């Protein structure tokens, strides 16, 4: 059982992603850009990253990890199967190391 994610945890994570996606959808059915998403999520500009982070053009998991101070970004995002396969608009859970 070690290493397995309980079914309800996966369900809750999926629900959270779907709710986040619906929150970021414009009224006409188009989705907002990563910049708009990050702007909507940020209530305090002093924070390097929010808990939910939208990947921007040209970013990698390594650069996001450094920017946000989260060395465990892959472990916190089980929906990422290949660390090299990130794209603009992908939503990531980010927990800065200093807040752990």
| Total structural domains within the chain | 1
Token pair listed for 83: 């660390």
CATH classification at residue 49: 3.10.350.10
> What range defines the domain where residue 50 resides?
32-99
56 is a domain residue? yes
The beta strand positions in the chain, using DSSP E, are 52-54, 91-93
pLDDT one-digit tens code per residue, 84-97: 889 999 999 998 77
Nearest to 68 by CA among 28, 95, 41, 30: 95
pLDDT one-digit tens code per residue, 18-73: 777 766 555 555 556 666 666 556 554 455 688 999 999 999 999 999 888 888 88
Rounded Cα distance, 68 and 50, in Å:
8
Q: How much is the pLDDT for 99?
A: 47
25 is a domain residue? no
Q: How much is the pLDDT for 20?
A: 74
Q: Give, as one character, the DSSP assignment of residue 19.
A: H
Looking at the DSSP bridge assignments, the partners of residue 92 are: 53
Q: How much is the pLDDT for 83?
A: 85
23 is a domain residue? no
Nearest to 73 by CA among 44, 52, 88, 42: 52
């Amino acid at each position: 059982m070690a290493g397995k994610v309980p079914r309800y945890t996966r369900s809750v994570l999926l629900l959270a992603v779907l709710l986040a996606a619906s929150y970021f959808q414009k009224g006409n059915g188009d989705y907002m850009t990563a910049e708009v998403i990050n702007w909507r999520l940020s209530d305090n500009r002093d924070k390097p990253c929010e808990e939910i982070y939208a990947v921007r053009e040209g970013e990698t998991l390594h650069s996001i990890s450094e920017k946000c101070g989260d060395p465990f970004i892959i472990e916190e995002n089980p929906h990422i199967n290949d660390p090299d396969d990130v794209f603009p608009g992908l939503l990531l859970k980010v927990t800065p190391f200093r807040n752990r």
